[in-house]
Amino acid sequence: MRILIVANHNTGGFSSFITEQMEALMKSGADVEAYGIVGKGYKGYLRNISGIKKKIREFQPDLVHAHYGLSGLCANLQRQVPVVTTYHGSEIHTWGLRLSKICMQLSAYNIFVSKLLQEISNYKKRNACILSCGLDLDVIKEIPRVQAREALGLDLNEKIGLFSSSFDNDIKNYPLAKAAIDRVKGIRLLELKGYSRQEVNLLMNACDFQLTTSFRESGPLVVKEAMACGTPVVSVDVGDVKEVIGDTEGCYIAERDPDDIAAKIRLALSFKDKTTGRQRIINLGLDNSIVAKKLIAIYEEVLKRRANG
């Protein structure tokens, strides 16, 4: 099976979760190539249509899998091969929803990474499902905290929290996180910005807890990664966090209130062992190898329907 991935490439590379999903698909036997969209706004995206068509002529894929609604819309402006589109959140929560809804009507199949996104989209047709992005559990793995801190040159006795993104990302709501941290005192909060995948894994294991205070999320993937490292999590109820955490001890859902978040941080700091989060991630089927098999089943269903007219 030949699959063409279409996704944003404005930063000079694909998002790590897309790259890792591509790798998992290849390990599952798919022949995968990619087209990176470079351009901002819908006009910038539309300039890529001829490039996508050229790539399709060259690669001759059985199917196109686009990530995000605008990429999916561009991919659907050719009708030679069917398109599967995955919606990750930002296009659903913003002005992109209107264009994404057009994409949903054109796509052969639609994948939402959370139930909330499908509900907001109000897309109820049969050619859709909820399938979260998975993790490469060979990369995101448990490491003893002392070992991780030594590798990063971090103080072994310092109390360290890991924020879900960069402090200047408005959607992640750093002011709320800072207000909570200030109430606990003696904590160094690190921003998740500019690290390699291997370094991210070390950070996840080195910190005492991972903190998420976002205004909105679809996942968020960072919570899943922290859980896969056995690291305590403190998060507001956003995206699918409550469902993913479940009853995992050492992981806490907080109100959007600095006092409550601070109280949950204290609980996380008192949790000295690894959580059972990694097993929870496995039980939820969020290993990329499992996600890849589900995707291939979707591809096969789309191609079967197309063959049957």
CATH code (residue 198):
3.40.50.2000
- Are both 161 and 267 inside the same structural domain? yes
- For residue 251, the tally of other CB atoms under 10 A from its CB is 28
Surface-to-core class of residue 253, CB atoms within 10 Å of its CB (0-12 exposed, 13-18 middle, 19+ buried): middle
pLDDT tens digits, 248-291: 999 999 999 999 999 999 999 999 899 999 999 999 999 999 99
- Are both 12 and 114 inside the same structural domain? yes
Examine residue 241 and state whether it is found in any structural domain, yes or no.
yes
User: What is the Cα–Cα distance from 190 to 185, expressed in whole angstroms?
Assistant: 14
Mean pLDDT of 38-42: 85
Examine residue 139 and state whether it is found in any structural domain, yes or no.
no
Using the predicted structure, report yes or no on whether residue 93 has a pLDDT greater than 90: no
Using the predicted structure, report yes or no on whether residue 95 has a pLDDT greater than 80: no
Phi, psi at residue 31, to the nearest 5°? -95, 110
- Are both 182 and 151 inside the same structural domain? yes
Specify the pLDDT at position 272. Answer: 87
Examine residue 30 and state whether it is found in any structural domain, yes or no.
yes
Examine residue 96 and state whether it is found in any structural domain, yes or no.
yes
Mean pLDDT of 178-205: 94
Using the predicted structure, report yes or no on whether residue 309 has a pLDDT greater than 80: no
- Are both 176 and 257 inside the same structural domain? yes
Examine residue 28 and state whether it is found in any structural domain, yes or no.
yes
pLDDT tens digits, 99-115: 999 999 999 999 999 88
Examine residue 140 and state whether it is found in any structural domain, yes or no.
no
Examine residue 40 and state whether it is found in any structural domain, yes or no.
yes
Specify the pLDDT at position 194. Answer: 87
- Are both 296 and 245 inside the same structural domain? no
- Are both 292 and 272 inside the same structural domain? no
Mean pLDDT of 114-142: 92
- Are both 55 and 123 inside the same structural domain? yes
pLDDT band with cut points at 50, 70 and 90 for residue 116: confident
Mean pLDDT of 79-91: 92
- Are both 29 and 130 inside the same structural domain? yes
- Are both 109 and 218 inside the same structural domain? no
Task: Give percent above pLDDT 90 in the chain.
Answer: 82
Q: How many domains does the chain contain in total?
A: 2
pTM score of the predicted model: 0.90
Q: Look up residue 160 and give its amino acid.
A: I
- Are both 122 and 172 inside the same structural domain? no
Specify the pLDDT at position 278. Answer: 97
Mean pLDDT of 145-155: 96
Specify the pLDDT at position 40. Answer: 84
Examine residue 73 and state whether it is found in any structural domain, yes or no.
yes
- Are both 197 and 121 inside the same structural domain? no
Mean pLDDT of 39-51: 89
For residues 248 and 273, the answer to whether their CB atoms sit within 8 Å is: no
What is the per-residue DSSP string for 19-79? Answer: HHHHHHHHHTT-EEEEEEE--SHHHHHHTTHHHHHHHHHHH--SEEEEESHHHHHHHHT--
- Are both 102 and 198 inside the same structural domain? no
Enclosing domain of residue 71: 2-134+287-307
pLDDT tens digits, 218-249: 778 999 999 999 999 999 999 889 999 999 99
